[in-house]
């Protein structure tokens, strides 16, 4: 089990994607992902999913990154708890919405929270002299995801 994250490109939203096979059913869900309205059949979902993958040169994603397995995420969570100290949480978004579980999936961080998450990530990266290579890699990956979210206005999806 592992934790992965991605940020969608803006090709569909910007009208740069190929035409959807079911334009009358196309919609955006609450996370900002392309979806289908009503009660789609399995064949309609398959056509939609194939379209998303073929809709543009990015295959629907600007960036897609593995964050780590359950053990790595647990290590990052423990590292952050130790780094934050008292009086309170310096890393509320990282701890409560990113590394709270090593295998959460299907949730997202709204784009409006990405700048605050980026500040948390930059705070950790500012202490690079105490980071292991694995920790540096995790936080550099998170930085790329945050920057993509800020640039596109799209959420970070897990």
Q: What is the pLDDT of residues 104-137, one digit of tens each?
A: 989 999 999 999 999 999 999 998 899 999 999 9
Tell me the pLDDT band of 88, cut-offs 50, 70 and 90. low
Percent of the chain with pLDDT over 90: 86
Tell me the β-bridge partners of 4.
66
d(CA 83, CA 63): 28
d(CA 136, CA 130): 9
Average pLDDT on 57-85 reads 93
Residue scoring higher pLDDT (1 or 82):
82
Average pLDDT on 56-72 reads 95
pLDDT of residue 149 exceeding 80, the answer is: yes
d(CA 78, CA 55): 40
pLDDT of residue 153 exceeding 70, the answer is: yes
Torsion of CA 29, 73, 84, 7, to 10 degrees: -30
pLDDT per residue over 7-47, tens digit each? Answer: 999 999 999 999 999 999 999 999 889 999 999 999 999 99
Tell me the pLDDT band of 148, cut-offs 50, 70 and 90. very high
H-helix segments, 25-158:
42-54, 70-84, 92-93, 114-125, 133-152
Residue 137: which of 81, 73, 85, 83 has the closest Cα?
Answer: 73
Tell me, what's the pLDDT at 69?
Answer: 95
Q: Tokens 């073929």 label which residue?
A: 54
Tell me, what's the pLDDT at 127?
Answer: 87
pTM of the model: 0.90
Tell me, what's the pLDDT at 96?
Answer: 95
């Amino acid at each position: 089990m592992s934790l992965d994250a991605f940020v969608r490109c803006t090709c569909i939203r910007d009208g740069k994607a190929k035409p959807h096979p079911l334009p009358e059913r196309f919609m955006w869900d609450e996370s900002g992902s392309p979806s289908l309205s009503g009660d789609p059949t399995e064949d309609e979902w398959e056509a939609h999913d194939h379209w998303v993958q073929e809709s543009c040169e990015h295959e629907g994603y600007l960036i897609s990154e593995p964050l780590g397995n359950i053990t790595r995420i647990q290590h990052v969570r423990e590292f952050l708890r130790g780094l934050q100290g008292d009086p309170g949480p310096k890393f509320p978004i990282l701890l409560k919405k990113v590394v709270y579980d090593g295998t959460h999936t299907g949730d997202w961080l709204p784009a409006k929270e990405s700048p605050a998450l980026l500040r948390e990530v930059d705070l950790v990266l500012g202490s690079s002299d105490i980071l292991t290579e694995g920790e540096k890699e995790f936080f550099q990956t998170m930085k790329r995801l945050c920057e993509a979210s800020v640039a596109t206005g799209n959420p970070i999806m897990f």
